[in-house]
Amino acid sequence: MVRKAQRWNIVWVVPLVALLLGGWLLYRNFAAQGPVADVRFETADGISAGKTEVRCRSVRVGFVRDVKLAEDLKSVTIHLELDDAYTDLLRRGSRFWVVKPRITASELSGVGTLITGAYIEMDPGPENAPRENRFTGEEIPPTTSSSVPGRRLVLTAEKAGSIIVGAPVYCRGIEVGRIEGRQLSADGSLVTYDAFISEEFSHLVTDRARFWISSGIDITAGADGISLRTPSLQAMISGGVSFGLLGPEHMAKPVVDGSSFTLFENEDAARKSAFNPTLRFLLLFDQSVRGLSQTAPVEFRGITIGRVAQISFDLVMGAADPRIPVLIELDPALVRPETAKAMTKPDSEFLQDEVTKGLRAALRTGNLITGALFVDLDYYPDATPETIGRYGEHLVFPTVSSGFLQWEAKLSSILDKLNALPLDQAVGDIAAAAAEAKTTIAEARSTLDELEAAAAAARGTLENPEFRELPADLRESIAELRKSVASLGPDGAVQGDLLRTLDELRASLRSIKAATTTIEEKPNSLLFGRDSTGNPLPKAPR
């Protein structure tokens, strides 16, 4: 029996479903595939294909697909695949570097990768930059991301010194930024540093700012004395950069990213660079200028407003003038704004008026140890009236003698006053007073000897055993005296005896009175006795 073949069989459903599922998975695979980029590094240390992650601000955005050795055998090419959601991160200016444990003099980073393993960190470029897929990775991680707001500057120096990448940037001793990179110029004449200043301190950087190296210990000795500058411990180890605003603050202007500044060796060099002298004067001194050096400060009551530019006889014409010429430079910007406007010219009316009021230049000792001198501008009301003159091509500023010359004049005045005093009479009076004092001292010494003898006698008396027993005897006498006084009291025995004696005395007086009466009445009673009548007759009164 012959049957007609069937064109459709249920068995074909299984391969058809498998084909559709495979196509759908293949589509999903290609559709979900993110952008790919090639990054070139010197080595692939710590990087593994299919395992190493790509992160942006520590958030996973992709992975390493493949690692290949470059054709020149001098580097490696790492193929990165980002997730589809992060396609816009691959743009010109993006940076890539490997995050792994790093120990440097300034910091310890990447410790967490000891457990999780190394990964590639990326820093996206500017938002409006065009898309790019080929990059050169950075071997040293940048300190801050380009997306972090702040001020980015370029510092140039003649030599690198101890400044390394990651070194701090200070302002008044407070860390405000970091050194992000350093490069040597193509001709090898300069070292360029990339500096980053945090946004909260970016307004401190103006065109008047000066940068200097703050690492190491700086010891200087000059007219200002001996100064010792020591930075922080971190700056001494890893190096550091400091900056400050030098000059009038009201004249400072803000700067933009990419502005270039010179990095000076120390703070003194930075301060000197901000000096802009516009006024020059010639000083003629009648005294030695030993200890006054070129670049010595010129101060007005302790505030530096200039410096010494030159000390040379070439500044004067001829050799007839024995005075020492010193050329000084003044910067009006270092004084008050209203004063700076008034002294724009060396022969300005303001300076002429101040000289008339007694403004003079003098040499002062700035350091007693080194003997360094500086030029001091101050007012001397007793100074001889003078004006700003001219000597050749220079304006001459009036000066006054100072230092040892002033001491010499004062010493001469004191000696003259001493010579005018009656010293001979004073010496005679002093001699007589000394003789009297000698006699008085001798008498006082004799008196002291007598006092010492009396004190010795008193000490002997006090130390005598009999004198020591005297208080006990006195106490016994006082006790007996108290007993005697008690016997004389109303209740004492003496009082009773006295009363009995008085009674007997009264009886005796009565007997004597009776006898005298009998004798008076009968005188012969003394011979014949008294009548013994039993009844005496009373007598009539007289």
Residue 108 is predicted with a pLDDT of 56
- pLDDT tens digit string along 312-335? 888 877 667 788 899 998 888 777
Closest by Cα among 359, 361, 362, 358 to 403: 362
What string of DSSP letters covers 316-361? SSSS---SEEEEEEE-GGGS-HHHHHHTSSTT-HHHHHHHHTTEEE
Residue 369 is predicted with a pLDDT of 76
Cβ contact 303:336 at 8 Å: no
Q: How far apart are CA 264 and CA 353, in angstroms?
A: 39
The more confidently predicted of residues 499 and 301 is 301
Q: How far apart are CA 167 and CA 196, in angstroms?
A: 11
* Type of residue found at 147: S
What string of DSSP letters covers 213-251? E--S-EEEEETTEEEEE---HHHHHH--EEEEE-S-GGG
Instruction: Map tokens 């500096």 to a residue.
Output: 195
Residue 540 is predicted with a pLDDT of 61
Helix (H) or strand (E) holding 470: helix 465-487
- pLDDT tens digit string along 236-260? 555 688 888 776 666 678 888 888 9
Residue 532 is predicted with a pLDDT of 55
Q: Which of 248-252, 304-308, 453-457 has the lowest mean pLDDT?
A: 248-252
Q: Is 198 helix (H, G, I), strand (E, B) or coil?
A: strand
Q: How far apart are CA 101 and CA 118, in angstroms?
A: 8
Tell me what the mean pLDDT of segment 518-523 comes to. 75
Residue 265 is predicted with a pLDDT of 85
Q: How far apart are CA 442 and CA 434, in angstroms?
A: 12
Arithmetic mean of pLDDT over the chain: 78
Closest by Cα among 247, 251, 250, 295 to 274: 247
- φ/ψ of residue 481, rounded to 5: -60, -40
**pLDDT at residue 527 above 80?**
no
**pLDDT at residue 126 above 60?**
yes
pTM of the complete model: 0.49
Helix (H) or strand (E) holding 115: helix 113-116
**pLDDT at residue 136 above 80?**
yes
Residue 270 is predicted with a pLDDT of 79
**pLDDT at residue 453 above 70?**
yes
Cβ contact 197:153 at 8 Å: yes
Band (pLDDT 50/70/90 cuts) for residue 339 is confident
The more confidently predicted of residues 104 and 120 is 120
Q: Dmax over Cα atoms in the chain, in whole Å? A: 231
Q: In terms of DSSP bridges, do strands 119-123 and 53-56 run parallel, antiparallel, or are they unpaired?
A: parallel
Tell me what the mean pLDDT of segment 385-402 comes to. 85
Band (pLDDT 50/70/90 cuts) for residue 529 is low
Residue 251 is predicted with a pLDDT of 66
Q: How far apart are CA 337 and CA 342, in angstroms?
A: 9
Helix, strand, coil % over all residues of the chain, rounded to 5: 35, 30, 35
Q: How far apart are CA 457 and CA 35, in angstroms?
A: 121
**pLDDT at residue 216 above 70?**
no
**pLDDT at residue 534 above 70?**
no
**pLDDT at residue 154 above 80?**
yes
Q: Which of 139-143, 503-507, 533-537 has the lowest mean pLDDT?
A: 533-537
CA distances from 254 to 17, 196, 206 (A): 70, 15, 4
Residue 385 is predicted with a pLDDT of 87
Residue 235 is predicted with a pLDDT of 54
Residue 7 is predicted with a pLDDT of 60
CA distances from 135 to 46, 49, 84, 132, 189 (A): 19, 18, 19, 8, 29
Q: How far apart are CA 541 and CA 109, in angstroms?
A: 155
Q: Which two tokens stand for residue 353?
A: 């008026």
